[in-house]
Amino acid sequence: MPKPDTFFLLWTVIAVVFFLFILLMPKRISQFIPGRRRSKKDQEADDRRIRAFYAQEKVDIWNKRGLTPFEILGVGRGAGRAEIEKAFKRRIKQYHPDKVLHLGVDYVNIAKERTILITNARAELLKKLDRS
């Protein structure tokens, strides 16, 4: 039987030690892991923050009828395609129904209405840009 090469054995031992270190290393819990269980205190704090946000928004532009697409997206009249897309993404992230799903049906319905308004405003503005 041939004698094993010492260089090969050294690297094999290093690799095994490295993989054992990775496997046995204690796991750190990050607060940004999706699906991680959060404390009841954290959940309640988020719920209060979201409810306060929607309560404040009731007195903002959303109760005004006849909103222009520019007001809905929060852009100026001379906005270009990139600015419209950026404002759309910002508003959708802010008012997406999945963000308030845990708060109940009322908040989900408000979020759905606003999402529809935001999407229609974006479509209308982009259509105007394409015509000109």
Q: How many CB atoms lie within 10 A of CB 84?
A: 20
Q: Compute the CA torsion angle 55, 60, 65, 68 (nearest 10 deg).
A: -130
Q: Beta-carbon neighbour count of residue 109 at 10 Å?
A: 12
Q: Per-residue pLDDT for 5 more than 70?
A: yes
* Cβ proximity of 70 and 77 under 8 Å: yes
pLDDT score of 55: 73
Does the residue 27 lie in any domain?
no
Tokens of 80: 């270009």
pLDDT above 60: residue 52: yes
Q: Is residue 25 in a domain?
A: no
Which residue from 49, 59, 58, 76 is spatially nearest to 113, judged by alpha carbons?
A: 58
Q: CA–CA separation, 63 vs 61, rounded Å?
A: 6
Range of the domain at 102: 52-132
Q: Give the domain CATH number at 100.
A: 1.10.287.110
pLDDT at 26: 64
Is residue 107 situated within a structural domain?
yes
In this predicted model, which residue has the larger pLDDT, 101 or 118? Answer: 118
Window from 40-49, 60-69, 75-84, 116-125 with minimum mean pLDDT? 60-69
* Amino acid found at 18: F
State pLDDT tens for residues 54-93.
776 655 666 566 788 888 888 888 888 999 999 999 889 8
Structural domains in the chain (count): 1
pTM score = 0.56
38 found inside a domain: no
